[in-house]
Amino acid sequence: MKQILLLTATWLFFNFNLQAQDLISHTPFDNGMLFPWTSTSTGPNNWDFDFDGTAESAIDWDSRPAIISPSEDGDNLDTLGVLALEVNEDISQMVTLTSPIFNCVGRTGVYLRFNQYYGLQSGATQAVVEVSNDDGGTWEPFDLEVNNALDADEETNPWDVQEIDISAVADGQANVQIRFVVDGNIRFWIIDDVYLYEDRPPVEPIAYLGDSLSAYDIPYDVDSTYWPIVPYQIVVEFNQGVSPSRKDDIRDSLGFARVDSCVCDELELWQIDGEGQLGAPFDINERVMGASAKSEVNGADLNKINFNDLQDNIFDPADSLISLPQNITAVPSDAVIIAVLDTGIDFSPSAPLTPFIWQDQLGVDVEGKDSTCYDNDYVGWNFVHRNNNPSDDHRHGTHVAGIIANNYPGMANCDFRILPVKTHDEHGTSTLYNVSCGTYYAVRAGANIINDSWGAYGKPSTILTNAIAEADNLNVLIVTSAGNDELELGVADFQYPACFDLDNVITVGSYLVDSSGIIARSDFSNFGSNWVDIMAIGDTVSSFVPGGAIEQISGTSQSTPAVSAMAAYTFCLAEDNIISKDCVLDCAIKFPQEIGTDVRGGNVLNLDLSCVNLHTSVVDNFIYPENSFELFPNPTEGELFIKSQIELQDVSIFVMDVSGRILQNKKIEYFNVDAIESIDVEQLIPGMYFLQIRQAEGFWTSRFIKH
């Protein structure tokens, strides 16, 4: 049976954002009556108005919460109202709830959205939404897959949201009606806040997160964008210099208690103490900021949940480390530090990544603390279990760190170390508080690059924005994943930190080479040429997992660390986060025709170190026009010819695989107009490759197929 989460009083008020949509109708059911909706039934039970958002007369209702919706917040004490079908006996019946007539003349693209809480009694039940455009003469059914997938005695979450495209029936029609139909045995069905839009309404873009949180017994509420948050918690950032007593005064005035703090007590996690409350409508940032001088509070946000790779793992808290783990060596003075904010890293004595793990060497002040304000952070910090053991109880963090180690190209010129910062738990979930604390910690521990293979949708966070801005101020580059939900970022959905418009953020998507040898965006990858900066291979990437085994995993989480590795190498040469970012993007191989609508400039990660070495000394690289060279025959079985249409000298010709690794290198002193050079590629296995021509002023890249 699915786990039922019993949520008690909550102080949230959900404001539904209508700015981006054309609202046709909104029915909040707050008028104290069923009318103008109607209900019919073949049995003794009908839909009726309910004040408090519950179905307390239903079989086995017990102490379940009220529905959580824009006009109900789940505390069973409201006097606003819902429509509820409450069944108190084991009986099969057909019950319908029918709307009044809606006028959709002149409308195209009509969507129905509603909140529901649905409980099944037996499995032989069908629940559908039906739509009519002829005064109820005929009805077109739309299946409710969530409801009909339930087994006996199971139920949805009380915050379930359904969105249905009813355009095929409702577009341009004057007499549109909607009805909810149940045929069989149910315990209850609560409906609230029925919306009709002419455009796609804002939705939680990935319902599977809510399903997973429920399965993992992780309680959550939702914010105004229907994104999961930790119930009753907010994250507050104080400016430096605010006294502890003043912080107490501000916190007490709002009825909160402090749960935890980090960043030398500048960032605090608050939880409502049961006495205080914040009124509705409710913008937490403005309320907390308004309770004090702006010189004291720098921001406040709901404690939003984020995630990377969701898994139903067993909770096994990590014990604190009592000394430096075995085989961890000192950090070389020239090493670039790459912080991995993730599920932790396997640094056991014989683990493959142990030689690359960072060791704390920060000096301490007179109180025995260093700049991070954490004691004995030998190899990083664990913000999940609140201790100094950032080991991996999942696999994601180790896999990500392994990709960095496997792709870092510069050992001969500059060493590197990986700083483990455990921000995500055994399920792959985290919170705004954990990742913000982790960002500040990594920056103050000396990180140069931060790898964020995780994200959350909805509104941007002031707290996380501030943390990343401080990273920029301290010359730290953030490399983050675009997400794996096939969404176009910036159109209807925004993921963060991927969509932060900040100079020190690189957002990474995933590409593949299909069976025809053509480069294309990975099916799972989020995309968008305004927000995704570059793509790297993210399909079936091999790397380490805890215990030393190697697994293949796909995702933008896997493409991101490859970019982090190259960014770290460029940082080692340039020692500047913005030059490092520009270098990675400018040296990218360009595919504007193939994936230019999916990623900015058609950028694909290039592992050609000659470009990087040149770029770190000369930032602006010229890209020669497409017609500067001719490549033939293409496809080829053996010899590949290059004909020049321009005159160059001191030219290097590179043959690279799809990951950008150099397979052949040919140097020529002069390349005159109409001159032809050749490359023997007969030994290459069949597939797609890149040929790049480079000299001091610029470069030219084209792909070719080897048969």
Q: What is the mean pLDDT of the chain?
A: 85
Positive or negative: CA dihedral 481, 486, 490, 492: negative
* Mean pLDDT (whole number) for 376-388: 93
| Residues sharing a CB contact under 8 Å with residue 174, sequence separation 6 or more, in sequence order | 103, 104, 105
- 167 burial via Cβ count (<10 Å: 0-12, 13-18, 19+): middle
Q: 396-442 pLDDT, tens per residue?
A: 999 999 999 999 987 667 899 999 999 999 999 999 999 999 999 99
Least confident of 136-150, 199-213, 621-635, 664-678: 199-213
Boundary of a domain, candidates 154, 188, 203: 203
User: Is residue 558 in some structural domain?
Assistant: yes
Best-predicted range by mean pLDDT (254-268, 320-334, 549-563): 549-563
Q: Which residue has the higher pLDDT, 368 or 104?
A: 104
Instruction: For residue 550, give its domain range.
Output: 336-615
Confidence class for position 204, pLDDT limits 50, 70, 90: low
Q: Is the pLDDT of residue 356 over 80?
A: yes
| Residues sharing a CB contact under 8 Å with residue 522, sequence separation 6 or more, in sequence order | 509, 510, 511, 512, 538, 539, 554, 556
Q: 109-158 pLDDT, tens per residue?
A: 899 988 899 999 987 899 999 999 999 999 999 999 889 888 888 888 77
User: Is residue 315 in some structural domain?
Assistant: no
Least confident of 298-312, 365-379, 463-477: 365-379
660 in the same domain as 530: no
Are the CB atoms for 652 and 683 separated by under 8 Å?
A: no
Least confident of 115-124, 250-259, 278-287: 278-287
pTM of the model: 0.67
482 in the same domain as 557: yes
User: Is residue 11 in some structural domain?
Assistant: no
Q: Which residue has the higher pLDDT, 284 or 283?
A: 284
Boundary of a domain, candidates 259, 290, 307: 307
User: Is residue 9 in some structural domain?
Assistant: no
CATH of the domain at 670: 2.60.40.3080
- 230 burial via Cβ count (<10 Å: 0-12, 13-18, 19+): buried
162 in the same domain as 27: yes
Percent of the chain having pLDDT more than 90? Answer: 53
Cis amide prior to 244 (ω within 30 degrees): no
356 in the same domain as 340: yes
662 in the same domain as 559: no
650 in the same domain as 584: no
What is residue 623's three-state secondary structure?
Answer: strand
CATH of the domain at 115: 2.60.120.260
628 in the same domain as 604: no
User: Is residue 431 in some structural domain?
Assistant: yes
CA distance linking residue 516 with residue 535, whole number of Å: 19
CB atoms under 10 Å from CB of 659, counted, come to 15
* Mean pLDDT (whole number) for 674-680: 93
Boundary of a domain, candidates 203, 237, 263: 203
User: Is residue 329 in some structural domain?
Assistant: no
256 in the same domain as 195: no
Helix (H) or strand (E) holding 432: helix 432-444
| Residues sharing a CB contact under 8 Å with residue 422, sequence separation 6 or more, in sequence order | 318, 342, 343, 344, 380, 381, 382, 383, 384, 385, 390, 391, 392, 397, 438
Q: 570-591 pLDDT, tens per residue?
A: 998 888 898 899 999 989 999 9
105 in the same domain as 50: yes
Are the CB atoms for 656 and 704 separated by under 8 Å?
A: no
User: Is residue 320 in some structural domain?
Assistant: no
Are the CB atoms for 635 and 707 separated by under 8 Å?
A: yes
Helix (H) or strand (E) holding 471: helix 462-473
Q: 583 to each of 227, 334, 578, 679, how far by Cα in Å?
A: 35, 20, 8, 28
Instruction: Report the number of distinct structural domains present in the chain.
Output: 4
344 in the same domain as 394: yes
Are the CB atoms for 331 and 337 separated by under 8 Å?
A: yes
User: Is residue 411 in some structural domain?
Assistant: yes
295 in the same domain as 195: no
411 in the same domain as 464: yes
Q: Which residue has the higher pLDDT, 49 or 281?
A: 49
